[in-house]
Structure 1
Amino acid sequence: MTYMNEQNPLVLSITSGKGGVGKTNLSVNLAYTLQKMGKRVLLMDADLGLANVDILLGLAPQYNLFHLIFEEKSLNDVLVKTEYGFRILPASSGVPEMLKLTTGQKLELIEALEPLGLETDILIVDTGAGIGDNVMYFNLAVQERVLVLTPEPTALTDAYATIKVLHNKHGVHKFKIVVNLAANPKQAKQTYERLAAACDKFLDGVSLDLIGSLPQDPVVRQAVTRQTPFCSLFPSSAVALGVQKVAENILNWPQSAKTDGNIKFFWKKLLFNN
């Protein structure tokens, strides 16, 4: 069944245990691909330390959530419409202040952002890497979590650490997995199986679901240099086809009856439950 629920948009994070695994590149190209498949996509740049969604797209957002909250800018001022059809919500410079908002400010922010739920089918939250408070902050508010890792031992170890913290400290049990920079599908599957085996052995009740793998592909570097999604420049490349399979998998997830998928509830959880 294709995921489509206007009353309950899908909210997912793209996260990772360590930097350099291709998390933001996946976020950008997944947003592009889902939009091409007919979905209204909003990409939130929530990587506070190394925000680079704008860099990958050759953009320079003038405003972000900080300006919406503290400088009375409108939602239209803050949202960035890309030439690829999806929109960006810059948050990199404004999120720390969100942790210190008064109850009144939080309610005003939720009211200001509520229209996004009527204009969006899928919200992708590109988090930072690691297990810092800000990364946890966003991962706890979303409906689904997509964890990106590579076959490198350090990436595997750090991915496990992220799952462990979210599971043991915050009660998160389900994770979607994407293996990036795999030499071949066999290596991607083996990487996933090593992570799953560690979780089965040491973390009771954790469920992992491999939703796709992306191969090493030289077109990625070319696209980054040109500040253009590789799925746009090289739609027939192996890595673009890999992103398409991930997107197809996401659209076939069962529709959730939970209200926490709704964008309004995402903001409530983000602002009030952390």
Structure 2
Amino acid sequence: MQNDSNKLPPKVLAISSGKGGVGKTNVVANVACALSRKGKKVLIFDADMGLNNIDILLGLASPYHIGHVFSGEKTIEDVLVDGPRGIKVLPASNGWQDLTRLDSDKKLLLMEEMDRISGDFDFLLFDTGAGISSNVTYFCSAAHDIVLIATTEPTSHTDVYALMKVLFQNHQQKRFRLIVNAVKNEREALEVYKRLSAVLDRFLGGVVLEYMGFIVHDPNVSKAVRQQKPFVELYPHSKVSQCIEMLTQRILKERNKIPTDSDQPFVWRSVLQI
């Protein structure tokens, strides 16, 4: 793969949640497709290393996964899968428990491999696991932006707060973005944002949570999941696809807000935790 020295490095987004079942992987898949539809080259990294999700959601099949890269059997190019709209997917393993906590050697290898191929992409999306494991905090710390997915459920708020707390106290992360999923309207999403912001102001001074957008509850989402297709492809004019479009426009507008230090071609160099 070629690396154009005049090209900006990829914008790296870690999409996380603290809690499973909030639609995080679905958001990743559909944002990726929307970005690709606008001519951007996108790589999705299924960063829930021990349990593959993104390839199943998109109906993809591959005989290889990230575990084969760590074992030295395959390169990343061998493992990458073609997804809809030309996106590339780096699949996770399925049931490899030793990948749920990366050691120093695996982190170093991963950094080197991602550095090598990063020049081919405009965006790199980490679909992290749920919770506050070391893998989750590692991938969040390795991104330009940490995008958190929440719903209206109180448990979702508690777990998002817990993730921000760990990333702030243990990894010096102070800035987070919020997308509120499966809401009736934007007013409901803003109520969630205000509630979380108030808790942060009270207990985690110095942490900034920015409202990024909302995604409405739409029965087309579950229909698309059953068909293993992105809803932006199957139902492009639906309300939920319009929400993804607004989020994508915001992401594109902020594309250039990344470090341009030539000594750090990839963000991992400044955050590698080994």
**Contact 1:260–1:266 (CA<8 Å) still a contact in 2?**
no
- Residues 182 and 214 of structure 1 are in contact (CA less than 8 Å); yes or no, is this contact kept in structure 2? yes
Distance 1:168 1:74, change over 3 A: closer
The alignment status of 1:159 with 2:163, answered yes or no, reads no
What amino acid sits opposite 1:221 in the alignment?
S
CA contact (8 A) 1:15 1:147 kept: yes
Q: Secondary structure at the match of 1:39?
A: coil
Compared with structure 1, are the counterparts of its residues 225 and 260 closer, same or farther at alpha carbon in structure 2 (3 Å cutoff)? farther
1:226 aligns with 2:230: no
The CA deviation string for residues 130-172 of structure 1, in whole angstroms up to 9 with x for no partner, is 1112111211111110000001111111111111111122110
Partner of 1:116: 117
Q: Secondary structure at the match of 1:137?
A: helix
CA distance in 2, matches of 1:256, 1:88: 24
Asked if residue 101 in structure 1 is aligned to residue 105 in structure 2, the reply is yes
| 1:127 pairs with 2:131 | no
Kindly tell me the number of residue pairs found equivalent between the two proteins.
266
Q: C-alpha displacement at 1:222, in angstroms?
A: 0.4
State the alpha-carbon separation in 1 of the partners of residues 147 and 126 from structure 2.
10
- Looking at structure 1, the residues matched to 111 and 24 of structure 2 have their Cα atoms a distance apart, in angstroms, of 27
* Mapped partners of 1:72, 1:263: distance in 2: 28
Q: Distance in 1 between matches of 2:36 and 2:185?
A: 27
Distance 2:111 2:166 in 1: 28
CA shift, 1:260, in A, is 8.3
Question: Gaps spanning 5+ residues in structure 2: where?
Answer: 1-5
Q: Distance in 2 between matches of 1:39 and 1:156?
A: 32
RMSD across aligned C-alpha pairs, in angstroms? 2.4
Tell me which of the two structures has the higher relative contact order, counting C-alpha pairs closer than 8 angstroms and 6 or more residues apart: 1
Letter in 2 for 1:273: Q
Give the TM-score normalised by structure 2: 0.89
**SS of residue paired to 1:42:** strand
Distance, in Å, in 1 between the alignment partners of 2:261 and 2:181 is: 28
Q: 1:60: Cα distance to partner?
A: 2.0
Match of 2:212 in 1: 211
Q: Partners of 2:155 and 2:262 in 1: how far apart? A: 32
Aligned-partner residue type, residue 204 of structure 2: L
